[in-house]
C-alpha cells in the first residue's frame, strides 16, 4: 500500500504546483489584475491651485481667494437614508430637505445631474459634515474657490473670474472644464501669473467609493500656487475717488508720471465687486448689465470722449515741435471764425492756453496743416500737413491703446488724411473743412486714460511709461518689462516750460480752475468743457502735481454737469490732497462735491 501513499503525495504536490503557478501568473507574470486593482483603489484627484492674491501698492489685500464647499446631490444615486440624521448634520429642517430634493428632480433639473443642496459652506461649516457624508449615497461636497474683495473697490479695474466657457476652452486648450479663468481687468491681464498650476493627488478609494486615506504620495504632483501680484493701485485713493464720484457719471484716472503706474482708476457709477460672487452673481450681473447708467462700462479706458479744451496742451506742443509757432506767437482772437469766451484779444501761447482761446488754436492748427509743404494746392497741402500732425499726436499716445495691461482699452480717434478722403472725397477737403479738431472737437476722440497720460508727458517734460495696473509680479518683483520702457514723445523738453507755466496759471488766481487750488501744493492743470448737444456739457480736467517733481497726474471726466472748472477740477484737487497729504483739509469743497447728483442729467 506504500505506492498509494506516493500517489497521494503526488496529488498534493500537483495541486500545490498548479496553485503556485496560477498565483505567480496573477501576481507577477501579468499586470492585468494589478492594473485593475490600481484603477479601482487609486483615484486621481485634481488639486486646484489657489489663485494669486492681488495687493494694492501698499500691500493691502485687494482680492483674495476663499475656499467654500457646495453640498451637492445626484438624485439618481440616492438610496433611502436616515433623513433625521442628515437634517441634523446639515442643519436643515425635514421640510426644507424635502423641497430641495424635489427641486433637484423637477425641470430644469434632472435626476442624473447634480444639484446643490447647500451652497457655499465655509470650511468651518463643512468640516463637521465631511466625515459623515459617506453614509449618504448620492450626496457629496464640491470645493470651490471664490474671489473676495475686502476693500469692496475697484470692481472693473480688478476684474472678475469665472468658469471657462466652451469657447474659451477651444481657444486655450490647457484649460479643462471646471477651471477658473480671469474674465476682465487685472484677473484677465495677469491670468498666467495668477492662476498657478494644477496638481494631482492620488487617494485611495474604498469599495463604497469613499476616498479614504492618502496614498503614499510619491506620484503626487503638487499644485503650484498662483503668483501674487502687487497692483499699482492705492486702495485709499481708489476708494476716495469712488466716493467723490458717487451719484455722478464719469471717471478719474490717476497715474504716477515717473513710472506710469496707475494709482486709481475710477469709473462711476461703480459697484461692490463682491456682488458678482457665487450665488448672487447671475442675478446681480443681469441687473448691472441692464442698468442704464452702465456700471459695467469702464469709462476710464473704454469711453471715447471728444477731448475739448484740454487738447490745446497737445496742440501747443505739436505746433512748437513742428515749428509752426513759437511761444511768442500771437494770434488775434477773431470770434468770427470760431466762438470764444472771456475778454482777451491778442494772446501769446501761454495766455491763450490759460484763456483757452479758441481762435488762437484754430490759427495754430492752420499754421500746422497749411505749412506750404505742397505749393499750389491748398487741399494737397492740408493732406500732407495733417499727416505730419497726426504722426506727432500718435507719439503722445492718441489713437493708440498705449500698450497698457488693461484689457479692452479703446484707441480713440485721431483723424487721418485718409479718413477725410473717405469722408469728403479724395483731396476735396482742406483746413477749413477740419478746423474743429483744433480745439479738440469734431472727429477727435480720446479716452480718459490717454488724457491722463498726456498730463504725465507734460509732468515728465517729454516722455511717458505705458500706464499699467501691476507694479510688481510677485511681492518685491518687477512689472512686466514693457512697462520699464520709456516712450519719448519727440518734443524738445524746453517747449514744455510754457505749457507748464500756463497750466499753473489755470489753477492760479483768475484761472479757470482756481477753485481747485491747494494751499501747499502747486497744481498744474487745464480745464475742458466738452460740448455734448443737446445734453449738458461734460466737465473735464487734467492736471499734475506738485509742479516740481510731480507725483501724480490726473484726468477727471464728469458727464453732463457743465463747466470743467466747476466739477472736474475740484475733484482732481481733492484726489491730489488725499494722495499727497493723506487727509482732506478742504472739507467744504469735499462736502460740496459729495452732495452733487448728476445721474439724471
Positions touching another protein (CB under 8 A) are 1-2, 4-5, 7-9, 11-13, 15-16, 18-20, 22-24, 26-28, 30, 32-34, 36-38, 40-42, 204-207, 212-213, 215
Q: Which is nearer to another protein, 28 or 167 (CB)?
A: 28
CB contact at 8 A, 529 and 560: no
Q: Provide the grid cell at 601.
A: 442729467
Spatial distance between the Cα atoms of 374 and 427, rounded to a whole number of angstroms = 13
Instruction: Tell me the torsion sign for CA atoms 488, 490, 493, 496.
Output: negative
Phi, psi of 106 (to 5 degrees): -100, 140
3-state secondary structure of 162: strand
DSSP state of 491: -
Q: Which is nearer to another protein, 40 or 200 (CB)?
A: 40
Q: Which is nearer to another protein, 4 or 166 (CB)?
A: 4
CB of 77 vs another protein, minimal distance in Å:
16
DSSP state of 29: I
CB of 32 vs another protein, minimal distance in Å:
7
CB of 31 vs another protein, minimal distance in Å:
8
Q: Which is nearer to another protein, 170 or 211 (CB)?
A: 211
Q: Which is nearer to another protein, 133 or 521 (CB)?
A: 133
CB of 35 vs another protein, minimal distance in Å:
8
CB of 209 vs another protein, minimal distance in Å:
10
DSSP string, 379-416: HHHHHHHHHHHHHHHHHTTTTS-TT-SSTT----B---
CB of 223 vs another protein, minimal distance in Å:
23
CB of 6 vs another protein, minimal distance in Å:
10
CB of 34 vs another protein, minimal distance in Å:
5
CB of 133 vs another protein, minimal distance in Å:
17
CB of 4 vs another protein, minimal distance in Å:
5
Q: Which is nearer to another protein, 15 or 287 (CB)?
A: 15
3-state secondary structure of 598: coil
Q: What does DSSP say about strands 180-182 and 161-163: parallel, antiparallel, or unpaired?
A: antiparallel
CB contact at 8 A, 72 and 241: no
Q: Which is nearer to another protein, 10 or 127 (CB)?
A: 10
CB contact at 8 A, 430 and 424: no
Q: Which is nearer to another protein, 12 or 219 (CB)?
A: 12
Listed in sequence order, the DSSP H helices in 136-293 are 155-158, 166-171, 185-189, 191-195, 235-244, 281-290
Residue 472 forms beta bridges with which residues? 230
Spatial distance between the Cα atoms of 213 and 242, rounded to a whole number of angstroms = 50
Of 141, 182, 132, nearest to 159 by C-alpha is 182
Q: Which is nearer to another protein, 24 or 81 (CB)?
A: 24
Q: Which is nearer to another protein, 32 or 172 (CB)?
A: 32
Quick check: bond before 111 cis, omega within 30?
no
CB contact at 8 A, 415 and 365: no
Phi, psi of 303 (to 5 degrees): -75, 130
Spatial distance between the Cα atoms of 554 and 455, rounded to a whole number of angstroms = 7
Amino acid at each position: 500500500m506504500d505506492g498509494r501513499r506516493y500517489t497521494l503525495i503526488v496529488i498534493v504536490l500537483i495541486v500545490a504546483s498548479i496553485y503556485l503557478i496560477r498565483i505567480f501568473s496573477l501576481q507577477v507574470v501579468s499586470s492585468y489584475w494589478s492594473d485593475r486593482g490600481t484603477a479601482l483603489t487609486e483615484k486621481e484627484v485634481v488639486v486646484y491651485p489657489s489663485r494669486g492674491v492681488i495687493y494694492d501698492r501698499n500691500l493691502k489685500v485687494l482680492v483674495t481667494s476663499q475656499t467654500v464647499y457646495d453640498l451637492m446631490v445626484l438624485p439618481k444615486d440616492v438610496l433611502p437614508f436616515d433623513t433625521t440624521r442628515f437634517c441634523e448634520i446639515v442643519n436643515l429642517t425635514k421640510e426644507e430637505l424635502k423641497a430641495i430634493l424635489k427641486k433637484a428632480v423637477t425641470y430644469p433639473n434632472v435626476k442624473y445631474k447634480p444639484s446643490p443642496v447647500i451652497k457655499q459652506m465655509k470650511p468651518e461649516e463643512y468640516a463637521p459634515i465631511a466625515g459623515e457624508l459617506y453614509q449618504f449615497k448620492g450626496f457629496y461636497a464640491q470645493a470651490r474657490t471664490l474671489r473676495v474683495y475686502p476693500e469692496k473697490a475697484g470692481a472693473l479695474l480688478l476684474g472678475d473670474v469665472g468658469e471657462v466657457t466652451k469657447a474659451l476652452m477651444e481657444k486655450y486648450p490647457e484649460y479643462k472644464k471646471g477651471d477658473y479663468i480671469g474674465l476682465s481687468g487685472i484677473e484677465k491681464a495677469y491670468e498666467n501669473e495668477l492662476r498657478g498650476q494644477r496638481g494631482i493627488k492620488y487617494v485611495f478609494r474604498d469599495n463604497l467609493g469613499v476616498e479614504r486615506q492618502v496614498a503614499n504620495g510619491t506620484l503626487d504632483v503638487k499644485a503650484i500656487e498662483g503668483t501674487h501680484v502687487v497692483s499699482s493701485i492705492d486702495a485709499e485713493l481708489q476708494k476716495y475717488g469712488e466716493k467723490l464720484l458717487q451719484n455722478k457719471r464719469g471717471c478719474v484716472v490717476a497715474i504716477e508720471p515717473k513710472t506710469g503706474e496707475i494709482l486709481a482708476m475710477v469709473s462711476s457709477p461703480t459697484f461692490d465687486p463682491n456682488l458678482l460672487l457665487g450665488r448672487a452673481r447671475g442675478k446681480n450681473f443681469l441687473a448691472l448689465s441692464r442698468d442704464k447708467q452702465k456700471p459695467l462700462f469702464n469709462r476710464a479706458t473704454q469711453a471715447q470722449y471728444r477731448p475739448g479744451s484740454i487738447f490745446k496742451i497737445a496742440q501747443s506742443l505739436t505746433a512748437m515741435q513742428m515749428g509752426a509757432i513759437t511761444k511768442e506767437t500771437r494770434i488775434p482772437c477773431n470770434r468770427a471764425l470760431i466762438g470764444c469766451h472771456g475778454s482777451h484779444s491778442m494772446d501769446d501761447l501761454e495766455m491763450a492756453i490759460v484763456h483757452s482761446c479758441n481762435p488762437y488754436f484754430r490759427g495754430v492748427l492752420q499754421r500746422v496743416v497749411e505749412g506750404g509743404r505742397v505749393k499750389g494746392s491748398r487741399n494737397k497741402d492740408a493732406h500732407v500737413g495733417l499727416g505730419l500732425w497726426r504722426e506727432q499726436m500718435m507719439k503722445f499716445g492718441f489713437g493708440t491703446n498705449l500698450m497698457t495691461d488693461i484689457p479692452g482699452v479703446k484707441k480713440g480717434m485721431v483723424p487721418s488724411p485718409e479718413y477725410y478722403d473717405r469722408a469728403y472725397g479724395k483731396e476735396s477737403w482742406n483746413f477749413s473743412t477740419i478746423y474743429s479738431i483744433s480745439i479738440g472737437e469734431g472727429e477727435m476722440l480720446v479716452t480718459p486714460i490717454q488724457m491722463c497720460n498726456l498730463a504725465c508727458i507734460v509732468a515728465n517734460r517729454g516722455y511717458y511709461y505705458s500706464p499699467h495696473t501691476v507694479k510688481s509680479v510677485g511681492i518685491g518683483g518687477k512689472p512686466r518689462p514693457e512697462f520699464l520702457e520709456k516712450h519719448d514723445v519727440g518734443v524738445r523738453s524746453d517747449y514744455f516750460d510754457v505749457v507748464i507755466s500756463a497750466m499753473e496759471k489755470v489753477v492760479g488766481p483768475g484761472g479757470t480752475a482756481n477753485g481747485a487750488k491747494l494751499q501747499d501744493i502747486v497744481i498744474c492743470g487745464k480745464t475742458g468743457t466738452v460740448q455734448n448737444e443737446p445734453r449738458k456739457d461734460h466737465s473735464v480736467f487734467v492736471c499734475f502735481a506738485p509742479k516740481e517733481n510731480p507725483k501724480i497726474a490726473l484726468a477727471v471726466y464728469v458727464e453732463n454737469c457743465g463747466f470743467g472748472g466747476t466739477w472736474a477740477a475740484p475733484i482732481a484737487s481733492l484726489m491730489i490732497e488725499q494722495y499727497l497729504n493723506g487727509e482732506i483739509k478742504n472739507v467744504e469743497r469735499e462736502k460740496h462735491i459729495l452732495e452733487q447728483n448728476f445721474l439724471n442729467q
